Amino acid sequence: MKKFIFTILLLFSFETKSIDTKAEQAVVIDFDTNEVLFEKNSNQRVIPASMTKIMTIYVAFDRIKNSNFNINNKCRISAKAYKMGGSRTFLEIDDQVTVDDLLKGIIVQSGNDASIALAECLGGTEEDFAKLMNVYAKKLGLKNTNFINSSGWPEDNHYSSVYDLAILSNSLIKEFSELYTYFAMDEFTYNDISQPNRNKLLKQVEGTDGLKTGFTKKSGWGIAATAIRDKRRITVVINGTNSSRSRLNESSNLINWAFNQTSQKIIVNKDQIIKEVDVWLGVNPRVNLISSDKIISTLSFDQLQLMNSSIEYTKPIAAPIIKGKEYGKLIINIDGKPQIILPIVASEDIAKVNPFIKLIEAAKYLLFGTSLNEN
């Protein structure tokens, strides 16, 4: 018996289009498969600016979902929150403001005052809340992230990466789908002051329903954005563009590219027949080797043009055959992606032949390459 390798060449023909971006850091992720479709300096540490507020909201959503804390609770506005500079919700000192209003102030208006007020309400102090943010960051596996405050106000040792922010964004959407609808609000009025959502993609790019913009002079303009079309969601995070217009253009280009030039493909279905193979001394002469799982991958049309698949197994496979047991591997090579190795398993049980005809069966196979059981 010997190891047998069966090679398949899969060919597709599509029009292709490459993508690049003027952003200094960027990442494009398929929400369902978690595959990175495009990246540029995605793990580089950057100043996250107001994209920090995604974590502030994540912590709040988790508390709302998993404790008695709710959106109707009221939080007192401290002097620190009231005096905070930058973008504001225009909260008044000592007012009692609902969590609902603070969430809207943070998400829609990017209010630094609302961020501090919510952080103090949940953590006692903003400093202690920032420690809690880092606990969540570690839990989510964010390897290039450290928070010092809840608003994204520039401070030493306050950093993240566009990849970490994408993972955070997707986790928020997956875990808090009902609360996530806050991010699609067009505007919010508080204290008789109406402010539009700073995420202009909401009105200009099909399917956009979140998340958060950010800007500092040192970091440039950035955005964590996500859109859904035909039940498929794409998440894009960029940073380091040189203007709000460039931020809009670069993020929308990446979103549209992902939807137009990549697609989710079922490469292999679960229980799909991969190959029929010979059985050594079995009551049945052949058995189907089938895939043990379903493989879905998000591919660019470039990647779809050429995929190499090979099957490795020992020929013939000796009986008894056990249904569901691994008897080989399907190996799929896709340019730019890690090699996929999928176990292939027997589709049915096959017992050994009767001992009295075992020698005749073996001789028949060795002489003619066929089984007595074959027609």
Checking DSSP bridges between strand 306-315 and strand 262-268, what pairing results, if any? unpaired
Rounded Cα gap, residues 26 and 67, in angstroms = 35
Do 189 and 300 reside in the same domain of the chain? no
User: pLDDT (tens digit, 0 to 9) for every residue of the chain, 375 residues total?
Assistant: 444 444 443 433 333 356 899 999 999 999 999 999 999 999 999 999 999 999 999 999 999 999 999 999 999 999 999 999 999 999 999 999 999 999 999 999 999 999 999 999 999 999 999 999 999 999 999 999 999 999 999 999 999 999 999 999 999 999 999 999 999 999 999 999 999 999 999 999 999 999 999 999 988 999 999 999 999 999 999 999 999 999 999 999 999 999 998 888 888 999 999 999 999 888 999 999 999 998 888 777 677 777 788 899 888 899 999 999 999 999 998 887 788 899 999 999 999 887 656 666 666 666 665 554 444
Rounded Cα gap, residues 148 and 58, in angstroms = 16
Do 6 and 37 reside in the same domain of the chain? no
Contacts of 320 (CB under 8 A, 6+ apart): 282, 349, 350, 351, 352
Take residue 197 and report the two structure tokens written for it: 């959502």
Instruction: Identify the CATH number of the domain in which residue 338 sits.
Output: 2.60.410.10
Instruction: Identify the CATH number of the domain in which residue 158 sits.
Output: 3.40.710.10
The total of structural domains in the chain comes to 2
Give residue 337's pLDDT: 79
Asked whether residue 257 is domain-assigned, the answer is no
Give residue 134's pLDDT: 98
Take residue 35 and report the two structure tokens written for it: 């595959």
**Contact present, 18 and 302 (Cβ < 8 Å):** yes
Give residue 1's pLDDT: 42
Catalytic residue among 110, 219, 309, 371: 110
Give residue 150's pLDDT: 97
Do 289 and 187 reside in the same domain of the chain? no
Catalytic-residue membership of 53: yes
Catalytic residue among 40, 42, 53, 291: 53
Give residue 9's pLDDT: 39
Do 195 and 312 reside in the same domain of the chain? no
Catalytic residue among 40, 42, 50, 169: 50
Which domain does 51 fall in, by range?
25-241
Do 207 and 281 reside in the same domain of the chain? no
Do 94 and 164 reside in the same domain of the chain? yes
Cα distances (Å, whole numbers) of residue 205 to 8, 179, 228 = 40, 22, 10
Catalytic-residue membership of 17: no
Which one of 241, 257, 279 terminates a domain? 241
Catalytic-residue membership of 65: no
**Contact present, 237 and 210 (Cβ < 8 Å):** no
Do 129 and 219 reside in the same domain of the chain? yes
Cα distances (Å, whole numbers) of residue 52 to 36, 164, 283, 333, 351 = 21, 11, 65, 38, 61
Do 198 and 320 reside in the same domain of the chain? no
Do 280 and 131 reside in the same domain of the chain? no
Which one of 241, 257, 290 terminates a domain? 241
